[in-house]
Structure formats: C-alpha cells, structure tokens
C-alpha cells in the first residue's frame, strides 16, 4: 500500500527520485502530490508568449511556425533556428550541434509541442536556447499520449526536470496510491464550507477533466493551507495566553497621571481610543500581543526640506540634530531632545489664509485656536463649517528676538518695517496695504510682518504688487500714527497632496511642544509612545523599548528623559514623587557604564529600558519585565522579540509592535495575524507633481534621445538631474563585476556609473557639468560632490542607489533610472522620491530594454501608473511571493504556501482563522483532531516548528 509518507525512490526508482529531490526538493509521495500545477494548458489552446519573464524557467505550449538550419558565422559548427508562436506573439528557439538535425526532423512547421527552458534574449528578442520539448500531436509516442487529455498540467519545474517529467512521475504515483484512510478535515467542516474530500481534490488537481474540477480542487487545497497556518498561529496565541502575563492596571495618582496632567494639550481622539484599548490589554493577566499603527506613536513628521527656525535662522528639517537649539512658539529658545527619521511618507501641503503654506504628513500635530491638538488628517476631514468657512485657526508666533544673518533683533525689524509701511502703505482700519513695483521688496515686507507674529499676504500684479499686512497690537505699523490693524489670523484653507518625500519628526524640551517652521508658522512636535510604558511602571514593573541603531536608541532614551523631566529622575535630587528612571543599554558602552546599566535593570531601579539588540543577550536580566515596545519598521525579527520576551521570569510580558508604513511583511503578518490589530489605515490616495514614464528603448530608441534632450531643457531652466545606474563599474570588487553572460543570450551586463558618465559627457550631455557618486568613494569626496550638486555647481549627477535615501536637493527635477528593470518596485518608488521636492514638478524616466508584455515590463508600468505606496507594497508582495509567514522568510527560504495567496484569498484566510480559533479553544493540542494536527505538521518543517516554539 502506497501512503503519503512513502519515499519516492520506492515508487519511481532512483533516477526519477533523485531528479525530483535535487531539482525540486521532493522526497515523499505526499510532497509530490502537494506539488500542484501552476497552470493548465488546454490541448490546442496555446500559451501566451507575451507574459514570459526574462531569466525564468518557462514551460510553453506553442505551434512551430518556421525552422531554419544554418552554419554559425563566428565559429565552426551549425545551429537550428526555430520560431514558435501562440498565434499573436513569437518566441525564438536555437539548438546547437549535430543533435539539431534530429530536432529538425521532429519540429515540423504546424506541429504543437511543449517547450521548456530558461528565457533569454538575443538581438532584442526573447528566446529559448536548447530547450527541452515534447511533441503533442504524435499519438504513436507513448510520452505524448500522456498529454492526450483536454487539460495539460504545467508544473513548477527546474533545471534538469521539466514539467512533463513531473507529470509522468505524478501519473505513476497516482496509479499506485490507494488514497487516504481518513480525511484530515472533519466531515462537519467540509460540509459547512462546501469542500470536496482531499483524495478527490488531489486527483482533480493533477488530472482534471473540466475547469469545474480544477476550481473544486483548488478551493479545497487552499483551505488546507489556510487552516494549517491559522491553526499554528491560533496554537501560538493560545500558548501565549496560557502563560500568565503581569497584570498592569492603571493606578491613579502615579507617574502616568502626573505626566498627563502636564501635557499642555488634550490627546487626539485617535490617541485616546487606542490608549484605552492598550490600557485594557495591559490590565489583563493574558499577554497583550498587539500591532499598533505607527502614526499613533511616532508619526507626525515633516519633510526633510521643511524649514525649522533656530537662533541662526531657518535650517532644513533634515539638518536638525539632537541638542540643537530651535525657537519655540513663545519666541524663546529650546533644545531638540529627539530626532526620529520616519522613512518616506506621503506629504501634504497646508495652505493658509495669508497665502503661505507648510508641508507635513497626515499625522502631524497642529494646535488650533480651541486649545486642542489635532492631526492634519482630522483637520482635513473636518475643514469647513456648514457655511463653507474654514474652521481652524493656528496660533501666531511671539516675535523671536534673535540676531543672525537672516534676522535682525526684534526692535530693528519693527523699525525697518515701520519705515517701509510709512512711505508706501496706507491703513483702512483693518489692514495696512503696501504697494511696490519690486517683487523682492513685496516678499521682504511679508517676511518682516511674519517675523513679528503678523501676516503679510501678497497679491502679485502686472506692474504693482500689494502686500496686505496685519500686526500684533504691540507693533504699530507706522512711526508717528496711532493706527492699528486687526489682529493677525492664520486659517487653514486647504490641504493638498504633494507627493512622497523622506520625512522626520523632532521632539523639543519646551513644555508647549510647539516649534516654528516655514513662514514662522507654529506647529507641534512628536509625542513618543510613552503612556503605555508609564502604566506598566506604575504597576511596579519594567518596560523595554527596542531601537534598531545605537544612535536612535540614545535619542529615544534622551527624548523620554526630557519628556518625563523630574518624573524620570528617580534617585536624584529634585525627583518627583513616584518617579522612575530611564536607562540606556547598547553594545558599545564602556565596561563601567554597562555594569551600571545592567545593575539598574536587574534591581528594577530602571523602570524604562531603551536599547538595541544588546537587550536580547543572555547576560541581561530584568527585575520584572512587563512590556516590550518594538517598532516593526525597524525590522526586528519575531524571534528577537521572542528572545526579549523570554527575559521575563515566570511570565510573558505584553508586546506592542508599532508599524508606520505598509511593508510586505507587515501585510502578511496582519492578514494571518499572530497579533491583534489596534489600528491600521491604508495610505491615502492622491495625485503628485511627479510624473513617471517608461522609456522602452528596444521598441522606441528615439525616446531615449528625447530624454537626453529633456535634460538639457531642465538644466537650461536652472534645475538639476539624477541619472541612476545599477552598478559602479570601476572594477575594484567582485561584487561590482558584471554577471557572467549566458552563452545563449546576448543580454549585456548592467550599466555602470563610470561608463555611463563618460558616455554622456562625450555624447548626448556634452557641455553639461557631470559628476559621479557611489558608495565606495571616500566620505569627504562624497560630501564634496553632494555639496556641489546641491549648490548647482554640478548639473547632472550619475550615481548608484546611494541616492535612494537621505539625499535632498529640492532643485533636482528629473530622475533617469537606467536599466530600470534591474531594480525592485520599492527601490524604484524610493528613487522617484528624490525629485519633485521643490516648487517645480518632477519627472522620473524608467529606461529599459525589456520587450512589451513581459511581467518585468508590467512591473514598470505599475510604477508608472501610481504613486500610492500601499498599492505598490501589495504589488511587491505579489511579485516577490508572500514569503513564509511562519518564519522561514527570515532566512530567505521558499514559501510553504503553494496554492494560497495572501492578496487574492483574504476571505478564505479570514474564515479559516475563525474556524481555527474555535478548534484550538476547544482542543489546544489538537489531540482530538489528529488529521488537523497532521496538516499543521505537514506545513511546518523542523526549523519552522522550532521558530514557533521560540515565538
């Protein structure tokens, strides 16, 4: 009797079994029967050739169109060239050597066959070199006779074992397989979900006689996979809740209440709702295991090119560092306590009633005239009253008394403005209107008014420009008159989508949390996720926060200490009642510092511990760990979270995972859900001034000429251009060497920075100032190039993906990505974000030699068609396959999912989760459901099982 567990060698013999094991990793009957066809070809219905992917191992059914035998030109010998077709597109085949004569006798024009091989390119056309093939219309051939049915299953194949070889092996196994003693899914479950028995599903999926049978089989097999995953995760959740968690109910009158009382604003509605949910979770004796959208904790960001007012004048947000001094809303100087880069976000423009604007993301905080603090999302969704009038006003800055190149002291600024208004302005009792022929003077008057806490709205005309000025009462507009203007007001009139930009947020020491940004606009800093940790500390336990780098860990620790003030100074003079202590632990600490930190953690003196991977080491002993906070975007693996959880003796700490952007692994995790989701919003859609175009060089070479012409035009307007290449090309390292060329393909190596820069300088961009930038240049040389590019001294920067993150030149308007097909979707999206940052629109050109119709070209077209980060993240997930959601994806191993799709089968997954939870609640070890236990065991290999046990 042949069973699922029997070795294939006993059924198929050594040769076939070895081929299946070496090529596909299949060793048992069950593994082969779970190796499902990737698609079905119908006899007489040809495979669509346009969808082939360069470099993939493809199997196609096609008709022979032509065959030509000729001698090779470059060396002795002969070859056979054949063209096969699906009726609309052609694919070229080439066979070398004497064996090609036999091929010529079999591949007669008009014959249909299955062809398998690696897709290459020659002379700009897709081809298969020396493919394996199986003629389909020779009924006398035994092998071909196996394809005599209406449906031909096409299996995932590999070098050395083709689809029809797999099909032959399946045929042999099905002939001797006697089926299952018992279906793993209980009959009641199969009936409730309208699922066919597993044995029937496996026979249908491998040897279908209709599309209906294929659909029924796939429905059942998807359920097997979905339920196996959900049972494993449900067992994990059950196991976690079976262990006690440290109950941390809120305690009145302790540190959290004292912290809340000091906040100079009320929490947003979203913060309150999520905070209440987390507070309830922390109060229970079962471990919280919750995913929290990052915007609630650490979003609230501005783009790196936004300006922040400092005592030295306005400085780009991207240049602000911890310890720097900035100007608070009351005009005083305060210290930056934390700088938190937030990656790339969709950025919006806040348009004000005086014609000025400020950029930020939708979660950035704004204090409004009511005293409330609201996110931009909340303001945008409730912008006008019933009469259509803007509802929200922003506070006005108190005139900062600084003395720098940009700003004179307050008294001098006021006297200068009075002189200008006295000579060129008039007051109507509400506003002072200043008229001038000079555009620069109009802007200067406006800036002076803003710097004094007023407004200066400019109306540019053909000959005369008008500035409507309002000033605070303490600043009379004229020298010798008693006139006063109406109080200055800044209303939010519109919120407009700008595009995707790199952003960051800062925290400041000033108790108001208000700092001054572009045009002297008052805005709010970030609130670090702190309240949950304080609740745990109030309960007498410890909270740990994981940071990805030592720099960020130190910033977090400093920021938390500043936010807490005397509430975080336990053991020091002047500490508040019930105060706690924030302790930092990193790997590079000196011996004495490290010993001190470890002692504070072990004794419980440290209520909040901030650190890097050093926290996970065995030497770190917590006194009573109650909560672990991890930012998922920092890419800590689940095993690392589990290792930190394991530091708590006798109980399982609560876990709060924060994520800011929809990355593919987060999508997979939230769909399957070993975490309860607190808040997860899709990124809002919108239009951006960045336009993207694919430049298909193979089909339309003139488009590339037009691209270089466009660069000349942009440089002529005073803008700058990036040209990105996949390789450096200086030949100094093996990593940079071009990949070895396949003998069967003439696809050239990836373009290199050094080569492209030289060709552009000598050719289409001759006369422009061109420089190169790549990661192996010395740091001072890189800095010099970037300064030259930022200042306009360099007009065209030819670079690798070193410009992908952190480079900010608002004057750059064009991004040309050479060999765009060699970059991933997310890389293209990030590179595109380098342009369109200033007032001029951006243009991104994706240059490729890929033919139309390939899946690679489809990816590029997708990037061309949308700037929606969530949509592209889903596309990236689909293209890269979901990975192994049970942990093996961390080590890059292939997915355990063969039939189930995270994107297309969400309904199946959701229903399976409900069923799995019910089953595991009643039977945690699946002792009464041996079939289901077998399903889980079949999904989990030893490594994944160990991973789940750890997690």
Token reading at 356: 């000025």
How far apart (Å, rounded) are the C-alpha atoms in residues 937 and 445? 75
Which listed CATH number (3.30.565.10, 3.40.50.300, 3.40.710.10, 3.40.30.10) goes with 690-866? 3.40.50.300
CB distance 820 to 692 below 8 Å: no
CB distance 450 to 485 below 8 Å: no
What pLDDT shows up at residue 645? 58
Long-range contacts of 701-704 (CB under 8 A, 24+ apart): 704/847
Q: Which position has the token pair 């490594």?
A: 943
For the chain, how are helix, strand and coil distributed in percent, rounded to 5? 35, 25, 40
How many residues are given for the chain? 951
CB distance 351 to 496 below 8 Å: yes
How far apart (Å, rounded) are the C-alpha atoms in residues 162 and 154? 9
What pLDDT shows up at residue 796? 92
3-state secondary structure of 760: helix
Q: Which position has the token pair 């209303």?
A: 491
Q: Report which of 469, 481, 460 is spatially closest to residue 432, judged by C-alpha positions.
A: 469
219-269 pLDDT, tens digit each? 999 998 888 888 887 887 777 667 777 889 999 999 888 887 776 555 555
**Mean pLDDT of successive 10-residue stretches along the chain, which has 951 residues:** 78 83 83 84 69 75 85 73 84 79 82 82 79 68 48 76 82 84 88 90 88 90 87 78 80 88 60 78 82 44 86 88 84 78 78 91 82 81 87 90 82 91 86 92 92 92 91 88 86 89 78 79 57 90 80 69 83 86 87 92 92 77 86 48 58 71 39 43 38 86 88 90 84 48 60 90 91 78 80 89 61 89 80 74 88 76 72 59 40 53 73 88 89 79 44 38
What pLDDT shows up at residue 318? 85
What pLDDT shows up at residue 817? 93
E strands present in 706-793 = 720-724, 770-773
DSSP states of 690-707: EEEEEEETTT-THHHHHH
E strands present in 788-894 = 796-799, 812-817, 842-848
How far apart (Å, rounded) are the C-alpha atoms in residues 798 and 711? 13
Residues in Cβ contact with 406 at an 8 Å cutoff, skipping those fewer than 6 apart: 312, 313, 314
96-111 pLDDT, tens digit each? 776 777 788 888 888 8
642-687 pLDDT, tens digit each? 565 555 556 778 887 765 444 343 344 333 344 554 433 332 222 2
Q: Which position has the token pair 């003139």?
A: 702
Q: What architecture is domain 255-295+528-679? A: 3-Layer(aba) Sandwich (3.40)
Which listed CATH number (3.10.28.10, 3.30.565.10, 3.40.50.1860, 3.20.20.370) goes with 410-488? 3.10.28.10
CATH number assigned to the domain covering 47-137: 2.40.50.140
Helix (H) or strand (E) holding 855: helix 855-865
CATH number assigned to the domain covering 300-396+491-524: 2.170.16.10
E strands present in 155-197 = none
What pLDDT shows up at residue 596? 93
CB distance 647 to 622 below 8 Å: yes
How far is the CA of 20 from the CAs of 13, 17, 119, 161, 654, in angstroms? Answer: 11, 5, 22, 7, 45
Q: Show the CA angle centred on residue 916, arms to residues 911 and 922, nearest 5°.
A: 135
3-state secondary structure of 106: helix
How far apart (Å, rounded) are the C-alpha atoms in residues 671 and 655? 18
How far apart (Å, rounded) are the C-alpha atoms in residues 21 and 99? 28
* Ranges of H-type helices in 363-479: 376-381, 410-424, 439-451
How far apart (Å, rounded) are the C-alpha atoms in residues 94 and 118? 12
Rg (CA), the chain: 33
Residues in Cβ contact with 887 at an 8 Å cutoff, skipping those fewer than 6 apart: 638, 639, 943, 944, 947, 948, 951
Neighbours of 372 (CB within 10 A): 15
Cα 562 to chain centroid, rounded: 31
Q: Are strands 542-546 and 625-631 parallel, antiparallel or unpaired?
A: parallel
Partners of residue 129 on adjacent β-strands: 94
First-to-final CA distance of the chain: 39
What pLDDT shows up at residue 459? 92
Token reading at 588: 């590079």
3-state secondary structure of 892: coil
Helix (H) or strand (E) holding 225: helix 211-242
* Per-residue burial over 67-103, b = 16 or more CB atoms within 10 Å of its CB, e = otherwise: beeeeeeeeeeebbebbbebeebbbbbbbeeeebeeb
CB distance 188 to 203 below 8 Å: no
Cα 380 to chain centroid, rounded: 25
Domain ranges of the chain: 47-137, 255-295+528-679, 300-396+491-524, 410-488, 690-866
Partners of residue 703 on adjacent β-strands: none
How far apart (Å, rounded) are the C-alpha atoms in residues 199 and 931? 13
pTM summary value: 0.51
Partners of residue 348 on adjacent β-strands: 360, 497
What pLDDT shows up at residue 552? 60
Maximum C-alpha span of the chain: 111
Q: In terms of C-beta density within 10 A (0-12 exposed, 13-18 middle, 19 or more buried), how is residue 645 classed?
A: buried
Comparing 255-295+528-679 with 690-866, is the CATH topology the same? yes
What pLDDT shows up at residue 241? 67
């Amino acid at each position: 009797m042949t069973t699922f567990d029997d070795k294939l060698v006993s059924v198929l013999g050594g040769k076939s079994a070895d081929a299946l094991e070496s090529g596909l990793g299949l060793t048992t009957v069950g593994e082969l029967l779970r190796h499902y066809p990737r698609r079905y070809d119908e006899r007489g219905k040809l495979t669509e050739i346009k969808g082939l992917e360069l470099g993939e191992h493809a199997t196609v059914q096609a008709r022979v169109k032509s065959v030509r035998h000729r001698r090779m030109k470059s060396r002795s010998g002969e070859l056979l060239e054949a063209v096969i077709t699906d009726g609309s597109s052609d694919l070229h085949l080439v066979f070398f050597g004497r064996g090609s004569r036999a091929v010529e006798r079999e591949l007669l024009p008009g014959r249909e066959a299955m062809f398998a091989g690696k897709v290459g390119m020659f002379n700009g056309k897709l081809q298969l070199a020396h493919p394996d093939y199986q003629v389909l219309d020779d009924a006398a051939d035994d092998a071909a006779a196996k394809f005599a049915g209406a449906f031909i299953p096409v299996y995932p194949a590999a070098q050395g074992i083709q689809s029809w070889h797999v099909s032959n092996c399946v045929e042999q196994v099905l002939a001797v397989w006697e089926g299952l003693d018992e279906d793993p899914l209980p009959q009641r479950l199969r009936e409730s979900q309208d699922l066919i028995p597993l044995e029937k599903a496996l026979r249908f999926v491998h040897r279908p006689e209709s599309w209906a049978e294929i659909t029924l089989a796939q429905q059942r097999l998807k359920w097997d996979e979905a339920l196996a995953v959900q049972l494993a995760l449900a067992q994990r959740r059950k196991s976690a809740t079976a262990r006690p968690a440290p109950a941390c109910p809120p305690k009145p009158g302790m540190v959290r209440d004292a912290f809340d009382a000091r906040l100079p604003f009320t929490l947003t509605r979203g913060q309150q709702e999520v905070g209440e949910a987390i507070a309830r979770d922390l109060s229970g004796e079962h471990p919280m295991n919750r995913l929290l959208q990052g915007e609630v904790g650490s979003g609230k960001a501005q783009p790196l090119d936004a300006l922040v007012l400092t005592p030295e004048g306005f400085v780009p947000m991207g240049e602000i560092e911890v310890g720097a001094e900035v100007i608070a809303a009351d005009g005083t100087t305060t210290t930056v306590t934390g700088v938190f880069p937030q990656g790339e976000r969709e950025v919006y423009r806040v348009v004000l009633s005086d014609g000025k604007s400020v950029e930020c993301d939708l979660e950035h905080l704004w204090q409004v005239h009511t005293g409330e603090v609201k996110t931009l999302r909340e303001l945008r969704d409730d912008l006008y009253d019933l009469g259509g009038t803007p509802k929200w006003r922003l506070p006005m800055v108190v005139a900062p008394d600084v003395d720098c190149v940009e700003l004179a002291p307050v008294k001098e600024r006021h006297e200068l403005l009075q002189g200008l208004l006295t000579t060129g302005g008039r007051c109507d009792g509400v506003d002072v209107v200043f008229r001038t022929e000079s555009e620069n003077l109009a802007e200067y008057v406006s800036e002076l008014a803003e710097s004094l806490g007023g407004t200066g709205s400019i109306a540019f005309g053909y000959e005369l420009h008008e500035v409507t000025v309002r000033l605070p009462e303490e600043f009379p507009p004229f020298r010798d008159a008693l006139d006063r203007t109406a109080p200055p007001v800044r209303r939010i009139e519109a919120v407009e989508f700008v595009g995707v930009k790199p952003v960051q947020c800062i925290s400041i020491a000033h108790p108001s949390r208000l700092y001054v940004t572009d045009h002297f606009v008052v805005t709010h800093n970030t609130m670090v996720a702190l309240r949950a940790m304080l609740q745990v500390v109030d309960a007498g336990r410890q909270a740990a926060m994981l940071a990805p780098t030592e720099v960020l860990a130190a910033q977090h620790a400093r920021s938390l200490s500043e936010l807490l003030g005397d509430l975080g100074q336990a053991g020091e003079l002047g500490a508040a009642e019930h105060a706690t202590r924030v302790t930092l632990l990193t790997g590079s600490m000196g011996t004495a510092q490290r010993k001190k930190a470890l002692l504070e953690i072990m004794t419980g003196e440290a209520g909040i511990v901030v650190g890097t991977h050093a926290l996970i080491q065995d030497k770190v002993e917590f006194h009573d760990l109650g909560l672990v906070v991890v930012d998922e975007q920092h890419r800590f693996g689940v095993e690392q979270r589990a290792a930190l959880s394991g530091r708590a003796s006798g109980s399982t700490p609560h876990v709060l995972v924060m994520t800011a952007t929809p990355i593919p692994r987060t999508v997979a995790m939230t769909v399957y859900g070993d975490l309860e989701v607190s808040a997860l919003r899709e990124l809002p859609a919108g239009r951006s001034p960045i336009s993207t175009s694919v430049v298909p060089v193979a089909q339309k070479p003139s488009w590339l000429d037009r691209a270089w012409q466009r660069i000349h035009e942009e440089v002529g307007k005073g803008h700058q251009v990036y040209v990105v290449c996949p390789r450096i090309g200086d030949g100094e390292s093996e990593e940079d060497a071009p990949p070895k060329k396949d003998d069967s393909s003439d696809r050239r190596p990836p373009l290199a920075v050094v080569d492209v820069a030289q060709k552009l300088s000598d050719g289409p961009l001759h006369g422009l100032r061109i420089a190169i930038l790549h990661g192996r240049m010395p740091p001072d040389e890189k800095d010099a190039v970037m300064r030259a590019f930022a200042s306009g001294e360099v007009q065209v920067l030819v670079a690798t993906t070193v410009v992908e993150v952190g480079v900010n030149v608002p004057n750059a308007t064009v991004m040309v990505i050479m060999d765009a097909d060699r970059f991933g979707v997310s890389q293209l999206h990030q590179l595109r974000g380098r342009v369109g940052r200033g007032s001029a629109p951006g243009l991104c050109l994706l240059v490729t030699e890929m033919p139309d119709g390939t899946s690679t070209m489809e990816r590029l077209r997708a990037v061309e068609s949308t700037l929606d980060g969530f949509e592209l993240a889903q596309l990236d997930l689909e293209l890269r396959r979901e990975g192994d959601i049970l942990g093996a994806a961390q080590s890059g191993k292939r997915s355990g999912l063969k039939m189930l799709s995270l994107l297309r089968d969400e309904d199946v997954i959701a229903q399976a989760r409900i069923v799995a939870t019910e089953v595991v609640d009643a039977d945690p070890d699946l002792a009464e459901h041996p079939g289901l236990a077998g399903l889980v065991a079949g999904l989990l290999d030893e490594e994944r099982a160990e991973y789940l046990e750890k997690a």
